[in-house]
Amino acid sequence: MTASAPAPSVDELNTLVHDVEDPELPHVTIGDLGMVRNVVIDGRLARITLTPTYTGCPATEQIQEDVAAAVAAAGFTPVIEFAMSPAWTSDWITPRGRQRLVEAGIAPPQERAQERAQERAGDASGSAEFVECPRCGSRRTRSITFFGSTACKASYTCQACLEPFDHFKSI
């Protein structure tokens, strides 16, 4: 940035960090996913704390680089830390994030996943969960496998419009 431009405020930097997009989910930001824990300006340093979604998610390193680049472009030296605890839950995805998932053709996770996990304990079939088709809205959908193209998704098919689709896992 040029010397004359004013340094971004912590609120502006916070917005900038929230707006970094997830590399695997089109137009869904890390703010939408509820991954941003804390943004602090400390002189020339910007200390960013993020929560990773899955321990093995390969996108985590890309997100770290993208956040560092965004922070550096705003004139700060990035210090990025990952907070493992409390563990990320799909309940942290914002309403806008859920909407953007639907727009990307991905069925959002169940709300209150943590609570429901307790109710569902021991149910191997997963039948207590129903997933709406992101294309036609039908609840006549079927799980093809509990897993999908990334760690966070499961594969479904709609029995009404016959389209296959991804479901963001509820954890």
Partner 1 sequence: MKSPTCDRYAHRQADRALILAQRLLETITHSPEIEEDMALSNLALDLIGQARTLYTYVDPADDGEDRLAYFRDAHEFLNPLLVEQPNGDFAGILVRQFLHDAFAVAYWDAMTTSTDATFAALAGKAVKETTYHLRHSRSWVIRLGDGTDESHRRVAAAVERLWPFTHELFEVDEVERELVATGIAVDPADLLPIWQETVHATLAEATLAVPTDGDRPSGGRVGLHSPEFDALIAELQVVARAHPGATW
Per CB under 8 A, residues contacting partner 1 are 52, 54-58, 83-89, 117, 124-126, 144-149, 151, 155, 169, 171
Q: Which two tokens stand for residue 88?
A: 């990320």
Min dist CB 117 to partner 1, Å, is: 7
Q: State which residue, 16 or 68, has the beta carbon closest to partner 1.
A: 68
Min dist CB 97 to partner 1, Å, is: 19
Q: State which residue, 57 or 102, has the beta carbon closest to partner 1.
A: 57
Min dist CB 11 to partner 1, Å, is: 29
Q: State which residue, 38 or 149, has the beta carbon closest to partner 1.
A: 149
Q: State which residue, 98 or 153, has the beta carbon closest to partner 1.
A: 153
Min dist CB 147 to partner 1, Å, is: 4
Q: State which residue, 126 or 137, has the beta carbon closest to partner 1.
A: 126
Min dist CB 135 to partner 1, Å, is: 20
Measured distance CA(168)–CA(171) in Å, rounded: 9
**Three-state SS annotation for the chain:** CCCCCCCCCHHHHHHHHHCCECCCCCCCECCCCCCEEEEEEECCEEEEEECCCCCCCCHHHHHHHHHHHHHHHCCCEEEEEECCCCCCCHHHCCHHHHHHHHHCCEECCCCCHHHHHHHHCCCCCCCCCCCCCCCCCCCCEEEEECCCCCCCEEEEEECCCCCEEEEECCC
